[in-house]
Each structure stands twice: as structure tokens, then as C-alpha cells.
Structure 1
Amino acid sequence: MAVVGAGIGGLSTAIALRAEGIDAVVYEQASELRALGAGVSIATNGSRILDGLGLGERLRDVAGRFSQYAFRTWKGQPIAGEPSELSFGDPEHTLFLHRGDFQRVLSEALPADALRLGHEVAAVTEHGDGVAVEFADGTVAEADLVIGADGIHSRLQGLVSAPAEPVSEGVMAYRALIPAERVEHIIDMNTCSMWLGPQRSFLVYPVSAGSLLNVVAFAPSNLDVAESWTAPGDVDELAASYAGWDQRVLDIIAAMDTTFRWGIYDREPLARWSTDRIALLGDSAHAVTPHLGQGANQAIEDAATLVVVLRDCAASDVPERLRVYEDLRRDRTRLVRESAREAGRTYRSTGLSGLEQAERIGAIVARIDINTHDAENVAEQAIAAAGPGSATARR
């Protein structure tokens, strides 16, 4: 099988497929996997799957060390006790990772010949029981199935569904990574801390085995900011945007050397995720805003679901199995997308008290079952329920 895109979703899919004995190769247009400066939150619904793939120990070695959450008003008062009764997932099973560290661990879990860098897809053509993938250098790869994990600006999306443009939330994020020694006198590095305020929020958590503090500051924007992890920002502009906030927020900003901007976009899950031989996964099918830290988790859930429905799959069964995959995932990802949007509005509310914010956040997190949702089990139950006479149930 051919997986297009070496992001979190694409690499996780290839690892999971190969664990089932399915030969999967990842094709990535970039000539190298760069350690982009962004944090990634993996909650229980994602870490359960990664643990099952044998990656847990290596990921915990590079994850930020933390044991509790703190949710505060913009002036610094706790909204649900401290340590907080709220969370983005059980700390024991939640991983805060530098995206570069995460991508490196995943790529190293694949055989060298299963990750092909510098392969930009030029065309994908379905024929009979297979797919031909043509690359910009003129080479061609043949596969039984192509999985499009090529992100929010997916090129493969148009082969499966009418292209759907990303939708701006009217918000951008300033992001930064700060060496721990600069901020450990300001903030407890064992805590994921979030401040909620009018039209803005401010989130920090440790990554890279606690050596760095990841900072994400969400602010309103009427700019057409491209979805990017590399667009330069202005630290002074950021500081001015948070004037009057809790002194800890201002001190964290003062510890930054640089920041970069990230446009916040999402997309309603597509009505169709697959053809007979091409399937979409992750942001290419259902991009979400980052307010619940669920973007990477949903891609990992996609990967786990897809692998379960493809187990022991005959070539003739692939189209039907792909329908099962998208049917299982569409409602789940729509719920997460809507919940993430609601969470963002709640964080940046101008009319809710801290107690009201805490109640709403707790309800939103509970709604998407971060600590209990098991995508593999859901898929296994669906296959079993189809009955032994169904092609989707043959194992």
C-alpha cells in the first residue's frame, strides 16, 4: 500500500499496517523531515493506540513531564481548583510532544525503505484492482490502495470528493518554544497551564523531556494568515496583545526570543472519504481546530480504524471495507470538530464567568470521550456485527 504524506497520520498508518503484515510505504514530497517548532498533544484516545503499536516507551522518553492541569482566568484566578478538576486527558496517559521529536520516533519505527522522501505526487490513477502513483521525477509506484494523509491542503482530496477549502476561525496563534531554564521560576514545568480571557487564550505545556516550554497564544485576526508553522511573528506585538493579563503570561512572553504565527483553520468532514482504491485520512478528510488538542489524535484514530477494517482483506473487498471505514469515522470526527470549535469560543468568551467556563469545558471534554474512546474496539465491534456472511466481516 502507498501512504502519501509523512505527517503524524501517515506515519502512524504505515506503522499500524506493517504491524498487521501489510506492506506499506510512505511517500513524502519534502526531501527531509524537519523538526518544526510546534507542540502536539496526544491524549488517552491516541496514546492507547500508540502503546499498542509498541511506541509508548520511546514517546514517553521524549514527552514533556507533567502531572496536572491549571485553568485560570486572564487575571490568574483558578476557574476549577488548582490543580484543576478539568483536563484535556488523564495526565498518566497524555503525552505532550515536540512535533519534530514525535515525527522522528515514528519514522524510526519504519524500515528505511518504507519511507521515501523527495517524492512529490504528480498523478494518481485507479485501474482495475490497483492504483498507479506517478511522481514529479517521472517514477511510478503501483499499489493495491493509496491512502491520502497529505494534510489540510490535500492534493488527493480532489480525487475522492469535491474539494473543500479550509475555513478560518478568525483567530491566529502565536507559537514559541522557550528553554525551560528561562521560565521555571515563572511557572511549574510539571503543569499544563491555560489562561482564558476576552477574545484570547494562552496555553503552555512542557515538551522535549521537559527541556522546552511550548507556548500557544490564540488571538483574533482579520488577516489572511496561511496555515503554517513557519510564518514569523512579532514578540512585541504579541506582548501588546496581552497587556493587562496575569503577570505570569507577560513574563513568559518576555522570555521569548522569537515567535511564529499559525492561522487557525478547520473543515467540515467530507461527505465522501474514499473511492474504490483511494482513502483519505486525518486533515485531508476532516481538519479540526486545535482547542482540544485532538487533531493528531483523530488522525491516529483514523489509522487504527482503517487497519482494523482492512485485516485479512481480499482485493475484491477493498471498496466495501473503505465504505465501512468512512462510515465509522464520519460522525466521530464531526463531533470532535464541532466540540473543538465550541471549546475555542468558550475559552475566548466575553460573557461567561469562570465557573460557567469550567462547566462548559468539562461537558465538552466529556462529550468526546477523550479518556475512554477506543477506535480499534469500535471498528472491531462493527466488523463483528456485520456477521460472518458479510464481506466486511470475513477475517
Structure 2
Amino acid sequence: MQSSDLKNLKIAVVGAGYGGAAAAKALSLLGADVDVYEQASQIREVGAGIGLRPSTMNRFREWGIFDAVAKVTSPSEFFEILTADGAPIMKEPWPADGEQTHTHLVHRGDFIDALLGVLPEGMVHLGHKLESVRDNGDRSVLTFVGGKTVEADLVVGADGIRSVVRHQLFSQAGPVFSGEHAYRAVISVDGAQGMVVDDNLRMYIGRGTKVYLLPLRHRGQVSFDITALCPDSTWSPQVTKDDMLATVAGFDERLVEITRNLDMSTVNVRAVYDIDSVDTWHSDSVVLVGDAAHSMLHHQGQGANSAIEDAGALADALREADSVKEALARYQATRKPVTDKLQAISRQGWSEDEINDVFPGQKPAAAASAE
């Protein structure tokens, strides 16, 4: 689209999470008039650590915000998968993207703060819970609880796994329970029982349980995550310390001790959900990004990265296409095949038997060394 057309484009982003904040930044750099509407009255990101892949960091460099994000991260060289008692299965460097070779490990809260911190003052409007979206073809109207309405040339639905935008316009299918729970806490490096010696992600696999140690050494902490099979689909289940200890029975005793020492009031507990692939992400004036379009299980660590890539691809498409309608079609054609594949791979999870499905030809390290 012509620069003059982009500058006349009024865009409303629904949701101020990773996808919404990144989309707001990328689209505002086009010169468009962007506003972000977030239902929460204050931004408080719970959870723990994530990894920002080299391609994601390249997008931040392109947008001029690399330093703002990098200063709250720890660069990581590789990730490693081990058995429950610490025997190596595989060790891989993070996939590079050009000169960018490091994945950057970051706390979710720090990441959101960094993204929101690079948006212009007044762009984000808190306390706006979306009630309905009406698609009028070339423009759409948002109505929020309390009666406020906003009209925009383009609505970006970045409102997460339980997206109102997706549900009202594109798919009424709800989130899908994975049969797992995730228990997440941030502990001090000193409390990690000597298991964190560098800035690299390690995952320990036992029967039905995965334990992740993700260093956040720039803040002297470690993200400690347990993902365990559980039939309870309650969105925010009630879990005791004994329940958690049962999931790590048979693991390296240091991991058991970390679990035993957790302050349960600091542990984020949730059932793990994703969504089935959504056939259509856009109309002529509404589009989905991030979890609203393709929420996926966390096993491959691709949720936040995919949301950032969505934002970049959407901005690219608007710059390159002749109209908003054409741009949205181009965006979906670019991103949907990628995220469909990632959703499917993420559902495979990580087990010793499934590693070869994700990394074809990869043999467990112990088996390889025996040959």
C-alpha cells in the first residue's frame, strides 16, 4: 500500500499481550493510526520464562527495539534434553537466523514490559473488555463492556486463546484440553541445587512428566516448570505440594528437592490447552494474530515467537499489497502453513519415543555413543 494510504489507516488492536503489543509496534512503524484495547485494568503477566528465537530477535532489530528487549534477557547457546535421572538424550544449538545465533531467555513479565515500553504514550487503553465485533466489510465496529464503541479500517484480534474476535467471526470451537497440567515458578539461582551452571535450557523427561530449567541469570533466577499428565481439565486447578512431588517421583533428587522447597503461593498452576487449526483468520477488515489465530501447546516454545512473527508478517503484507483485503489474504497465506505445522508438532509433546518424530534421524545421545 502507498505510504499515504497507510498513514490514513485506522487500526484497532484487541489485546495487549505479546501479539497485540508486537502488532501495534510493527503497524505503527508503517505510519498507521494504531490504538490497543486491553481488558485488564493493569498489565500483570504471570508465568515464568520463555525463549525468544533468533528470527524473533531479528524482528526486534528491524523495528529498532532490539536493545530494549535484549537488556532484560540472557543469550543462550543451546538446549538439552535429558532423562529423568540426567542421562543425555540430545543436545542441539538453537537454530540460527543469519548473523543472529542466540536464543534469548526472558521472563514473561519483563518481555511484556519491554514491548509495551516501546509503544507511544497513550496508545494502550486498559479496562476495555470486548463485548462484540461487527464486521461491516471495509470497516468494523468494536463494542466494549460499558457501551463504548470504536470503528476501525482494520481490527487485529490479539485477544488470546479464548478470543472473542475469533469466536464471533471465525470459529466457535473452544479450547482443547491436552490432558496435562503446567506448574510454573521462578526461583533463585541459589535455590536450583547447583543445576544451573550456564544460560542454556534443559528439559528432563520422565514417564508422563517434563521438567524444564530455564535460566534467567540476568536477574539471578531460574524458571522452573513441570508439565505433567493429569485428567483434571479445570482451567485453574487446585494442586498441593504433595501432588507436585508425585509428578517428579523418580527424577534426579535435586529436581525433587527444588519441588519440595517451592513456596506454593508463588506457583502458577493451570491446565494446558490449545485450539484446533482455524480455517480462516481474516475477513476484509478483521484479522487474527497470535494465540487467537493458532494457540499451541508450549512443548516447542513457539507461542510467543509465532505471535511476533505474525506481527511482522502482517506489517510486511500491508506494506507490499495494494489493499487491506489483499494484505490480509497474503498474511494468512504466509503464516498459516507455518503455524499449522507448529501446532501439530507441539501436540506431539516430548517423550523419548517422540523425539525422533520432531528431529528425524536424531538418536538419543546414549545410543549414539554406544555405536
1:92-145 CA distance string (max 9 Å, x none): 421211111111011111112110001111222233532222221222222111
Instruction: Please give the alpha-carbon distance, in whole angstroms, between the structure 1 residues aligned to 2:216 and 2:238.
Output: 21
1:250 aligned to 253, 256, 261, which one? 256
Contact 1:189 1:205 in 2 (8 A): no
> Structure 2 length normalisation: TM-score?
0.87
Written as runs of structure 1 = structure 2, the 5 A alignment for 1:84-163 is 84=91, 86-87=92-93, 89-90=95-96, 92-127=101-136, 129-163=138-172
Structure 2 residue identity aligned to 1:173: A
Instruction: Please give the alpha-carbon distance, in whole angstroms, between the structure 2 residues aligned to 1:121 and 1:273.
Output: 18
Contact 1:205 1:214 in 2 (8 A): yes
Written as runs of structure 1 = structure 2, the 5 A alignment for 1:163-174 is 163-174=172-183
Q: Point out where structure 2 has 5 or more consecutive residues left out of the alignment.
A: 1-10, 363-371
Q: Point out where structure 1 has 5 or more consecutive residues left out of the alignment.
A: 366-395
1:28 aligned to 7, 25, 38, which one? 38
Is residue 60 from structure 1 mapped to residue 73 from structure 2 by the alignment? no
Going from structure 1 to structure 2, the CA distance change for 1:145 and 1:72 (only over 3 Å counts) comes to same
Instruction: Please give the alpha-carbon distance, in whole angstroms, between the structure 1 residues aligned to 2:78 and 2:337.
Output: 31
Contact 1:183 1:255 in 2 (8 A): no
Instruction: Please give the alpha-carbon distance, in whole angstroms, between the structure 1 residues aligned to 2:260 and 2:64.
Output: 40
1:297-322 CA distance string (max 9 Å, x none): 111111111111111766xx222221
1:232-266 CA distance string (max 9 Å, x none): 53233211221121122112213321223222222
Contact 1:180 1:189 in 2 (8 A): no
Structure 2 residue identity aligned to 1:185: G
Indicate the larger mover: 294-303 or 37-46: 37-46
Contact 1:193 1:204 in 2 (8 A): yes
1:272-300 CA distance string (max 9 Å, x none): 11111111111111111111100111111
The alpha carbon displacement at 1:189 in A equals 4.5
The alpha carbon displacement at 1:64 in A equals 3.3
Contact 2:183 2:270 in 1 (8 A): yes
Instruction: Please give the alpha-carbon distance, in whole angstroms, between the structure 2 residues aligned to 1:281 and 1:140.
Output: 22
Q: What residue in structure 2 maps to residue 266 of structure 1?
A: 274
Instruction: Please give the alpha-carbon distance, in whole angstroms, between the structure 2 residues aligned to 1:31 and 1:203.
Output: 31
Contact 1:189 1:210 in 2 (8 A): no
Is residue 324 from structure 1 mapped to residue 330 from structure 2 by the alignment? yes
The number of equivalent residue pairs is 347
Is residue 7 from structure 1 mapped to residue 10 from structure 2 by the alignment? no
Indicate the larger mover: 123-132 or 150-159: 123-132
Instruction: Please give the alpha-carbon distance, in whole angstroms, between the structure 1 residues aligned to 2:189 and 2:239.
Output: 21
Going from structure 1 to structure 2, the CA distance change for 1:288 and 1:43 (only over 3 Å counts) comes to same
RMSD: 2.2
Q: What residue in structure 1 maps to residue 367 of structure 2?
A: none
Instruction: Please give the alpha-carbon distance, in whole angstroms, between the structure 2 residues aligned to 1:364 and 1:20.
Output: 43
Indicate the larger mover: 44-53 or 193-202: 44-53
The alpha carbon displacement at 1:360 in A equals 4.3
Contact 2:75 2:102 in 1 (8 A): no
Q: What residue in structure 2 maps to residue 362 of structure 1?
A: 359
Instruction: Please give the alpha-carbon distance, in whole angstroms, between the structure 2 residues aligned to 1:273 and 1:215.
Output: 34
The alpha carbon displacement at 1:195 in A equals 0.6
Q: What residue in structure 2 maps to residue 348 of structure 1?
A: 351
* Aligned-partner SS, 1:112: coil
* Aligned-partner SS, 2:337: helix
Q: What residue in structure 2 maps to residue 194 of structure 1?
A: 203
1:321-372 CA distance string (max 9 Å, x none): 2122112222111111111122x1xx235xx4xxxx654443399xxxxxxx
* Aligned-partner SS, 2:24: helix
Instruction: Please give the alpha-carbon distance, in whole angstroms, between the structure 1 residues aligned to 2:193 and 2:206.
Output: 23
Written as runs of structure 1 = structure 2, the 5 A alignment for 1:363-378 is 363=360
Instruction: Please give the alpha-carbon distance, in whole angstroms, between the structure 2 residues aligned to 1:112 and 1:233.
Output: 40
Q: What residue in structure 2 maps to residue 392 of structure 1?
A: none
Structure 2 residue identity aligned to 1:269: S
Instruction: Please give the alpha-carbon distance, in whole angstroms, between the structure 1 residues aligned to 2:198 and 2:42.
Output: 31
> Structure 1 length normalisation: TM-score?
0.82
1:136-163 CA distance string (max 9 Å, x none): 1222222111010000100011333231
Identity %: 32
Q: What residue in structure 2 maps to residue 389 of structure 1?
A: none
Going from structure 1 to structure 2, the CA distance change for 1:167 and 1:141 (only over 3 Å counts) comes to same
Q: What residue in structure 2 maps to residue 338 of structure 1?
A: 344
Q: What residue in structure 1 maps to residue 57 of structure 2?
A: 47
The alpha carbon displacement at 1:59 in A equals 1.6
Going from structure 1 to structure 2, the CA distance change for 1:289 and 1:274 (only over 3 Å counts) comes to same
Q: What residue in structure 2 maps to residue 282 of structure 1?
A: 290
Q: What residue in structure 1 maps to residue 365 of structure 2?
A: none
* Aligned-partner SS, 2:33: coil
Contact 1:189 1:213 in 2 (8 A): no
Structure 1 residue identity aligned to 2:191: R
Indicate the larger mover: 56-65 or 295-304: 56-65
* Aligned-partner SS, 1:79: strand
Contact 1:171 1:218 in 2 (8 A): yes
Instruction: Please give the alpha-carbon distance, in whole angstroms, between the structure 1 residues aligned to 2:258 and 2:202.
Output: 12
Q: What residue in structure 2 maps to residue 293 of structure 1?
A: 301
Structure 1 residue identity aligned to 2:61: D
Going from structure 1 to structure 2, the CA distance change for 1:64 and 1:17 (only over 3 Å counts) comes to same
Q: What residue in structure 2 maps to residue 217 of structure 1?
A: 226
